[in-house]
Every structure is written in C-alpha cells, then in structure tokens.
Structure 1
Amino acid sequence: MGLGASQPRLERSPVIWTTLTGLSRPTWHGLRMRAINSSSTASLGMRWTSTARLLRVVLKQVSAARRTCASSTPTEPPATLKTATAPTASKTAPSTALDLQPYSLKPLLRRAMAYESLERYRNAYVDYKTVLQIDTGVQAAHDSVHRITRMLIEQDGMVWREKLPEIPVVPLSVQQEHWEKPVSMEQERARAARVAQDEVRRKEARVSLLKQEGNDLVKRGHFHDAMHKYTECIAIKHDDCALYTNRAISLLKLSRFQEAKQDCNAALLLEPTNKKAFYRRALAHKGLQDYLSASSDLQEVLELDPNVREAEAELLVVTSLLRKSLMDDRPLQM
C-alpha cells in the first residue's frame, strides 16, 4: 500500500499524534491545518510530506524540552546508595564509641570481631590483646588470640609479630576503673565459672605432662623418679585410676609390695573391674607371699578377659608356689 493511500487515516487520528508529541489536541490540529493549507495546489503526497516533516521538527523540540526538564528536576538517589555502607556499620559504630571512650570493652571486642570477619587479622589481634589488658577473664578474646596467632604464623612465618600494628598500653587507671565497676550476680557467677574452668585446664595440662614424663622414666628403667612423677600427678588429680596403676608398676619394680597393693586397692575403688589393678595387685600379693590372694586376683582377671596370656602364665606360677607352700607347712607324719 502506497504512502498516499495511508495518509488520510493517519492525518485524521489526532489521538495518536498528540500521544506521541505530548501536545494538546487543539494545538496539534492548528499545526496540521496550517501545513495542509500551506499550498492549495499541492498534491495529496506533497501535503503528507509537509506534515511528516513538521512532525519530525515538533518531536525534536518536544524531546529537547523534556531533556531540559529532566536535568533541572532533582531526583531521589537510588535506594541502593542509601544502604551501600551497611556491611561496615558494625565496625563504624564501635569506632565512634571508641572516639568518645577509647578503652571501652564492648566496642573494642565488637570491632575486633568485625576486623576478624573482614579478614584483617592483625588489627583484630591488636584489639583482642587490648581487651585482655582490660579484663583477662574474657574467654572469647583468649580463644580468638590463639586462633589468629596460628593463622598469622601460617601467613607470615616467624616474623609475624614484626608486622603487627602497635598494641596500645591500657592505663592502670582504666583497668582499675573496670574492676571497680559493680557487677551483677550473673556476671559474678560467669566470672567464677571461667576462673574454675581455667584452673581445671591448667591442672589437666600439668597432669598430662607429669604422666608422660613418668611413662618415659619407666621405659628407661628409672622407677624411683617415675614413682615421684606419678605421686605429683595424684596430688593434683586424685580420682584418676590410671595414675594409681601406673605408680603401682614402679613400686613393684622397687619391691615395695605393700604400697603397690594399696595403690591397686585405690584404683579398684575407682574402677571395680579394672584388669590392670587386679593383675598388679596379684603381683603385689605374690611379692608378699600371699599366693592364695594372688591366685584369686588372677582368676578375676581371666574372668574379665580370658585372653590375657600373662595372667594365665602367672596363675600357673602362683598355683605352683601355693602348692609348694602348703606342702612346706604340712606337719611331718611319724
């Protein structure tokens, strides 16, 4: 279909053109009539060409006007700009609090956690160490310092301390002020629980070290020194069955059978089915020449575990000694 054939329908559709140009219908109608009447002798195709040309000019003017208005009208910033700094809010807020009070415990601890989450481990380490200067009972700070220390050693090697920022020295007045603050009963209980837990850990570490030293001394045949190591362990942790049975070994090797028997008795009070305690008490009874009690203890061992070959062999020996002692004690017949 030719251009001239479609022109009457388009020209007579002012709704379309007013929508495109943004002009009111009377204004558009006036422009249209002026273009059509501009040449009474123009053909239909020429009138359409003139109207199309005029439309292009009007559209350019309207577009330019709209751009001008858009540039002069203030707009709301995008919503994303308002929340762009949200991820760092946890670090920014405590920093503001620290500007007001440089050695405030909670803001320091929270900033340290924020640094750690951002993988800024050196800064986190400094803040955690500062927290511990104020209050050594903050277990979270202790745990984090140990964790970050391992990470920094893996990252920087043995020179990791040289790369740390300077750790501030907390004034004694700040520490004293912190400890003089009134605490609630709940805080007091939590603090006491932490102290007790630290003491238990310290004792466990000490016992473990002494026990290992005692075991090494037994392997080298230094039974007297080993006995003293186990005695130190028992003084710290008197409810550990293995410590008594271990000391019993040293006492047996030193031929101190009565003391070895007492240690085995103590072990059996803690663990009534302990095979080692029964076996070593049997050896103590044997050393004391109480072969009947030794035989009874060895039979207990075999009832608990029939596969203990040492107990089987020792039972044969003890049984032979018991028979011999009974024969020696039998009066001579006349």
Structure 2
Amino acid sequence: MTRIVSYNILAGGYSLREKGAKRTEQLLKIIHSADPDIVGLPEALNPIKFAGPTVVEEMAQVLGMQLIKGGETGSSRDYQTALMTRLPIISVKNHARPGILARPLLEVCVEESSGQQLTIFVIHLSAAFNRRWAGNHIRMREVREILHILAPFRAEGKPHILIGDFNSLAPKDAFTASALLKYVMRMDTRRKNLTLNDGHPHLNSVVPPKLRFLNPVLRTVAHSEVLCKLFDLAAYFYAPRGTIRLLTEHYIDCFRHLHPHEDGFTCPAAAPAGRIDYIFADPTLVERLQMCRVLVRGEDDFLGEHASDHLAVAAEFGLSVAPQVPSTPVDNAISHS
C-alpha cells in the first residue's frame, strides 16, 4: 500500500514569533503517526533564510526520505512547496505559470512497491481573502490552469493525485466562521509586529480594505454567541465554493468520498472552522482508496494544534493488481492449430 500525507506546516516549520524557533520535533510527531511514503508540503520553505539546515531538511533526514523542493515563487514574501518520499523517484517537474499560479505546481512521479508509477502534484492556492470575490476568481484561474496541466494524465489514464492547501471550501461543507473569527482575534492580540509574515491570518488579511471600518463590529460579534450563530449562517452562504466544485468534476475528494457526513475541518488547527486541505485522486485510483482522515493527534497523543495552524490529512491506497488474462487451454490451442 501507499500512504500519503498533505500537510501545511506553517511558515516552513519556523515560529517567527519565537525568533525563528523550529517546530521539527512537533511536526514529526504528527507525520510519524501516519507512517507515510509520501508527504506533500504546501508551505515548506520559508523565504527568510535561517542558519543551518531547514526544518524540512531535518524532517527528511529523520524520516529517511528524499526531499524535492518546489520552484521559486517569484516573491520574496512567499513560501515554496516541497515533497518528501521514501519511494524511488522517476521524474520531477515544476510547472511555473507567472501571472497565473502564485506558486509553481510541483510534479513528482514515484514508483510504488508494486512497480507501478504514481504521480503526485503539490499546490498551494492563493488566499487573497481580503479581496472578496476577486480572491475566488484568482483561485478559479489557478485551478483551471492546473486542470489544463493535468489534462494529459487524465487522457492517458495515468494514476495521479493532487494534494495541498486549496484555501477553499467544498460545496455543502460546513463552515464555522465564528471559530475562525475568534481565532484571528486571538492572533491579533498576540501579534506584536503587524508586518510579520508568519503565516498566521490576521483581521486585515481577511477583511477587505473598504470594509475594515466594520472591524469593531466583528470584535463585538466574536463575543456574542447569538451573533456568532448569525455570522456562521451568513458566512456559509457567502463563502465561494466554485474552486472545489470545479475540481470534483474531474477528481475524487478522498475524505468526502469515505466520510460523506463528517466535517473533517483542517484549519485553524487550534479552532477548526473549515476544510481547506485536500487529497484529490483521479478516478482510476478510487477502488484503491482504503483510508482518508484528518490527523488531529500524533504520536504520544500529541495535539496537531501545537505543531501547525493546519491539521494534516492522510490517505492510504492499496496496491492495484494487474488483471489476469486467462490463458488458453493447451488442448484448445492444439485443436485450432
């Protein structure tokens, strides 16, 4: 079988509010619990260069995995993707689309224990929540380009998986917006440097500039249970969901396929409000899908909220068996010769 984990480790695994302290040990407790063969990292490499090996380099060494880094983003403030794997690597490619994809789409083809090839794509879609529906249009444009890149794989029936942080809700998925609001308020209270690009959301990152005069109102909402319920209802219908709807026209949402009625919230880890981290599999893999779950806890019952602001998602695929072609009986072969 092949086990895959998608994990946004927050700012490349560094705690910028703690002077760049590494979270290597905490992250490994979560990853170890899934015993993965492949780990996709949407936010793997911090643009700030710290001394010594990076967190992902340390993790790869401990896990005995090869580390493949995604392409440069073109922004001095953006994080690069990466992938770690213990499986033999067949090929690597970065699909850079300046002006369309904020971060290059990382493509890694590996050989499974069965000898078959499996291609993993890792992506981190744009957030741009404070741009309202324009942010959704940006993500839709990114997904259309990704679908275009993946089209030959679909046409040829090549097994492939798309994983990462999609910053998008799926159709009909629950969304507890008040939990996100309260979390952002707590982060803002602790935020000593308003220019700190530490990966955590803050109020102005989710509220459009023209609506920031409502920030005091939002703070009032966060302290009222009645207003929180109304806020959740309004946010459920307001939140755009076209990005994931478009993807599910071509791919299987692994978690939702196995758990049609569970929330599966992945973010924020300390106050789960919605599901924005996914593992999508092409339809040829659906019969192999055996497990998909959100890693709320890791080894030694370690809570995921202490490792990152996202919870990891793990999936397990059984090994496919090549269909057996019935051999022609010897006596029949002779009689037709």
What's the TM-score, normalizing by structure 1? 0.16
Query: Per residue, is there more helix in 1 or in 2?
Result: 1
- Bigger relative contact order, structure 1 or 2, given CA contacts below 8 A and separation 6+? 2
Structure whose alpha-carbon radius of gyration is higher: 1
Query: Per residue, is there more strand in 1 or in 2?
Result: 2
